[in-house]
């Protein structure tokens, strides 16, 4: 069977070896490849012989354009043009098995424990006694927990020889599920910092032209999120209305400068509700909906904004925060976002807040837009802080996890383990995050 693996070279890689010469051979699985997946795999491919396995190139949740080419790694798409939800369990198991048989990895990195392709890959690893790395951005508190689902996750996690996680809270949870702390490494949640920093600097150098091109106001808060309940955009708009009201009350004081606008990027099922709230609060001229924006357009929005806001009531990480900070933006981040503990230094890179407390967010918006807050200094600190979370961090964490996993004894699966994987494959694999 010919999978037509996409061979490409990694331009600018420090390691001169060809892909075929590199070790170990690592298969890295993701649901769908977006731009930041490609950036991570490029970095990892400079050190290891990496095959990126994309479950499907169709994802109803994200409207990314297809990312062409695979620099520094090989790429396989399991199901092209077909949403994974429409594929039967036996087809998934067969396709994953065929792919991993041909790739013949020495270690397999799987994204979490609930997706059926991840479960099929674990099945393959157990059968062939190949070590697995579990990649996780789940915390103990991001969703409600039930004892039987936690027990199922512990069974799955014990089949893995190492873990790769986003931050400290994710490490703690994976340890809670039974993986030894010494086998868990950081670096899962990273973006191409250099791309956003360079593009933001370029945009700032021609800000007047770019502002006109993208129809952006002189001063604005920026948020970028799917228009779904957990992103908490209705409360964000309410907090923004409160901010404008507070600005009116401060007329004649040092804080009386004109209120900033709010720009929202994204779309989704709550779009009509958000539009209705904007109209109800008479914010039509000040809350600007610019729709979903592709990767290449994002740096302009980050570069020209004053402050980035991420208000989710639950968020496993929040990669848009990485992007904003890499672009030199101070951030206001909900304390229910997994990235908050690692990236937000209060008063230095930005502030965190309770996403259910509208008044708290209002006050932080007011504080950021009022002297003596030094946004330039905070933006510089934000860029410096997130620099540690670049794609090289992913490559390093994956490399170390692979080494540990390959040194660990092969997982011994019981009949109950095989039965659990089989049942989860049949029932969509959804055991929560």
DSSP secondary structure letters along 367-383: HHTSTT--HHHHHHHHH
One domain, residues 301 and 185: no
Residue 138, in any domain of the structure: yes
Q: Which residue has the tokens 């934000």?
A: 382
Express each pLDDT in 85-139 by its tens digit. 889 999 999 999 999 999 999 999 999 998 899 999 999 999 999 999 999 999 9
pLDDT at 141: 87
Residue 181, in any domain of the structure: yes
One domain, residues 153 and 207: no
One domain, residues 172 and 146: yes
Neighbours of 178 (CB within 10 A): 13
Express each pLDDT in 169-215 by its tens digit. 999 999 999 999 999 999 999 999 999 999 999 999 999 999 999 99
CA distance 6 to 66: 15
Express each pLDDT in 311-350 by its tens digit. 999 999 999 999 999 999 999 999 999 999 999 999 999 9
Residue 52, in any domain of the structure: yes
More confident residue, 146 or 290: 290
One domain, residues 218 and 143: no
CA distances from 112 to 19, 162, 163, 311, 430 (A): 27, 12, 10, 24, 11
CA 242 to chain centre: 30
DSSP for 86-146 reads GS-HHHHHHHHHHHHHHH--SEEEEE-SSSHHHHHHHHHHHHHT--EEEEE---SSSS---
One domain, residues 184 and 296: no
CA distance 30 to 35: 12
* Helix or strand (DSSP H, E) at 223: strand 220-224
pLDDT band at 1; cut points 50, 70, 90 = very low
One domain, residues 267 and 319: yes
CA distance 122 to 132: 7
Asked if residues 329 and 302 have their Cβ atoms less than 8 Å apart, the reply is yes
For residue 343, how many C-alpha atoms fall within 13 Å in the half-sphere facing its CB? 36
pLDDT band at 9; cut points 50, 70, 90 = very low
Task: Give the mean model confidence (pLDDT) for residues 379-385.
Answer: 97
Q: Which residue has the tokens 């006694």?
A: 129
Asked if residues 289 and 203 have their Cβ atoms less than 8 Å apart, the reply is no
pLDDT at 226: 95
Residue 186, in any domain of the structure: yes
One domain, residues 215 and 80: no
Q: Which of 302, 319, 328 is nearest to 391 (CA)?
A: 319
Asked if residues 155 and 420 have their Cβ atoms less than 8 Å apart, the reply is yes
CA distance 67 to 6: 13
Comparing 66-70, 164-168, 218-222, the range with the smallest average pLDDT is: 66-70
pLDDT band at 144; cut points 50, 70, 90 = confident
Residue 224, in any domain of the structure: yes
One domain, residues 123 and 214: no
One domain, residues 239 and 314: yes
Residue 1, in any domain of the structure: no
pLDDT at 254: 58
pLDDT at 429: 58
CA distance 275 to 305: 22
One domain, residues 159 and 294: no
Peptide bond into 24 cis (omega under 30): yes
pLDDT at 6: 32
CA distance 41 to 403: 17
pLDDT at 3 over 50: no
Measured in Å, how far apart are the chain's first and last C-alpha atoms?
Answer: 34
pLDDT at 10 over 50: no
CA distance 124 to 103: 12
CA distance 127 to 384: 44
Comparing 9-23, 60-74, 123-137, 354-368, the range with the smallest average pLDDT is: 9-23
Query: Percentage of residues in the chain with pLDDT exceeding 90?
Result: 75
DSSP for 280-292 reads HTT-TTTEEE---
What is the maximum alpha-carbon separation in the chain?
75
pLDDT band at 11; cut points 50, 70, 90 = very low
Q: Edge to edge, what strands does the sheet with 25-30 contain? A: 74-79, 49-56, 25-30, 107-111, 132-136, 162-165, 184-186
CA distance 326 to 92: 37
Compute φ and ψ for 421, nearest 5 degrees: -60, -45
Express each pLDDT in 245-265 by its tens digit. 999 888 766 556 789 999 999
Give 390's DSSP letter.
B
| 3 state SS of 333 | strand
State how many domains the chain has.
2
pLDDT at 5: 33
Compute φ and ψ for 94, nearest 5 degrees: -65, -45
Residue 420, in any domain of the structure: yes
Compute φ and ψ for 300, nearest 5 degrees: -65, -40
Asked if residues 68 and 95 have their Cβ atoms less than 8 Å apart, the reply is no
Express each pLDDT in 273-320 by its tens digit. 999 999 999 999 999 999 999 999 999 999 999 999 999 999 999 999
Domain that holds residue 131: 19-190+390-426
pLDDT at 21: 57
Give 22's DSSP letter.
-
One domain, residues 180 and 270: no
CA distance 259 to 380: 23
Q: Which of 73, 84, 85, 80 is nearest to 25 (CA)?
A: 73
CATH number at residue 213: 3.40.50.2000
pLDDT at 7: 30
One domain, residues 295 and 173: no
Residue 5, in any domain of the structure: no
């Amino acid at each position: 069977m010919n999978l037509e693996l996409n061979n490409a070279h990694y331009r600018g890689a420090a390691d001169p070896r060809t892909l075929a010469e590199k070790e170990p051979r690592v298969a890295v699985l993701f649901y769908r490849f977006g731009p930041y997946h490609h950036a991570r795999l490029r970095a990892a491919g400079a050190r290891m012989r990496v095959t990126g396995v994309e479950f499907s190139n169709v994802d109803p949740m994200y409207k990314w354009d297809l990312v062409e080419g695979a620099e520094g790694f090989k790429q396989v798409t399991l199901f092209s043009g077909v949403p994974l939800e429409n594929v039967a369990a036996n087809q998934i198991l067969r396709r994953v098995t065929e792919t991993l048989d041909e790739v013949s990895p020495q270690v397999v990195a799987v994204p979490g424990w609930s997706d059926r392709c991840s479960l099929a890959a674990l099945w393959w690893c157990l059968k062939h006694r190949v070590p697995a790395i579990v990649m996780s951005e789940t915390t103990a508190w991001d969703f409600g927990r039930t004892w039987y689902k936690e027990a199922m996750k512990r069974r799955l996690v014990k089949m893995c020889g190492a873990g790769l996680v986003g931050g400290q809270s994710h490490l703690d949870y994976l340890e809670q599920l039974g993986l030894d702390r010494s086998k868990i490494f950081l670096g899962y949640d990273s973006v191409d910092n250099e791309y956003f920093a360079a593009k933001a600097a370029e945009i700032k150098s021609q800000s007047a032209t770019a502002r006109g091109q993208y129809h952006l106001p002189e001063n604005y808060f920026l948020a970028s999120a799917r228009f779904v309940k957990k992103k908490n955009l209705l409360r964000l708009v309410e907090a923004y209305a409160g901010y404008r009201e507070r600005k009116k009350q401060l007329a004649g004081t040092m804080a009386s400068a004109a209120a900033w606008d709010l720009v929202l990027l994204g779309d989704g099922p709550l779009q009509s509700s958000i539009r209705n709230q904007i109209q109800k609060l008479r914010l039509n001229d000040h809350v600007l909906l610019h729709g979903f924006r592709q990767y290449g357009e994002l740096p302009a929005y980050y570069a020209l904004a004053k402050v980035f806001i991420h208000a989710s009531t639950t968020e496993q990480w929040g990669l848009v925060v990485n992007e904003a900070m890499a672009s030199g933006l101070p951030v206001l981040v909900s304390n229910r976002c997994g990235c908050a503990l690692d990236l937000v230094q209060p008063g230095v890179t930005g502030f965190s807040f309770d996403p259910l407390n509208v008044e708290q967010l209002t006050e932080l918006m007011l504080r950021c837009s009022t002297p003596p807050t030094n946004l330039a200094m905070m933006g510089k600190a934000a860029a410096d802080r997130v620099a540690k979370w670049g794609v090289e961090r992913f490559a390093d964490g994956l490399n170390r996890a692979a080494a540990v996993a390959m040194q660990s004894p092969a997982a011994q699966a019981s009949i109950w383990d095989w039965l659990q994987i089989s049942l989860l494959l049949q029932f969509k694999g959804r055991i929560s995050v």
